[in-house]
Amino acid sequence: MPSPLASGFSGPFADAAAGLGAAAAAARAHGTWAGALLVLAGLAALVAGSRWLRVLAVLAGAALGALAAAAARGWIAAHLGLSPGAAAALGAAAGAALGAAWPAAFPFAAGAVPGAILGAGVPLSGRALLGAAAGAVLGGVVGLLVGRPAATALVSLLGGALVAVGAVGLLGPRPLAGELCAHPFALEALALVLGIAGAAHQIARGGGPPPPPPGDRLERS
């Protein structure tokens, strides 16, 4: 029998896999053009997502908003009557807007939102809310300490998910696409591998805009 701690951590990963499977099925239904657009957007996030701070914050905000809405889908459905897809879309839009308005806050948010989701699965004193609050604070502090790489990692994971989902759309009616939709943990594994590779590439290269030419530096000095 799995421990409550293991169940608390495995739940969000199972939910993420289910969400990827549903997104992949939707991309497959829209045809190869949708898959191609998703793959291109994902590759851009994997290769150069950290080059533009505001774009990075908007993408990270959208991912965090959708993630938060997915984690709270039960409460949202019960109190607002929104479907999980609509809630995720609204959460992504709200997160993107906040990212555009306050890009400097997203290293904290990049750690706080996943920390809250994981913390909710490990209740403190029997209360999931206390676990979520503790996880948010701890994750947010880690995000601040790590700084920009935290947001880079989040956007790279988003890019990996987009590539995985878009690849299913590109496969279209082929049997492999149906197998991937039926086994979303394979999609999750692909997204994680691509996201980790993209984050490592961008962090090792050094995110941020390129330095000015030597002549510009001399003039400024």
**Domain-wise residue ranges, the chain:** 52-176
For the segment 81-128, what is each residue's pLDDT rounded down to a tens digit? Answer: 877 777 778 888 888 888 888 877 777 777 777 777 777 777 777 777
Predicted TM-score (pTM) of this structure = 0.61
189 pLDDT above the threshold of 70: yes
- Indicate the average pLDDT of the chain: 75
Q: How confident is the model at residue 27, as a pLDDT? A: 82
* Least trusted range by pLDDT, from 75-84, 117-126, 191-200, 203-212: 203-212
Buried b (16+ CB within 10 A) or exposed e, 116-139: bbbbbbbeeeeeeeebbbbbbbbb
For the segment 17-69, what is each residue's pLDDT rounded down to a tens digit? Answer: 777 777 788 888 888 888 888 888 888 878 876 666 677 677 777 777 777 77
Please state, in angstroms and as integers, the Cα–Cα distance from residue 56 to each residue in 27, 59, 155, following that order.
Answer: 24, 5, 7
7 pLDDT above the threshold of 50: no
Q: In whole angstroms, what is the distance from residue 131 CA to residue 133 CA?
A: 5
* Least trusted range by pLDDT, from 88-97, 124-133, 193-202: 124-133
Mean pLDDT of 69-87: 75
- Residue 216 is encoded by which pair of tokens? 């510009």
When pLDDT is cut at 50, 70 and 90, the band that residue 204 belongs to is confident
Q: How confident is the model at residue 108, as a pLDDT? A: 79
Mean pLDDT of 152-176: 84
214 pLDDT above the threshold of 60: no
* One-character DSSP codes across 129-174: HHHHHHHHHHHHHHHHHH-HHHHHHHHHHHHHHHHHHHHHHHHTTS
209 pLDDT above the threshold of 60: no
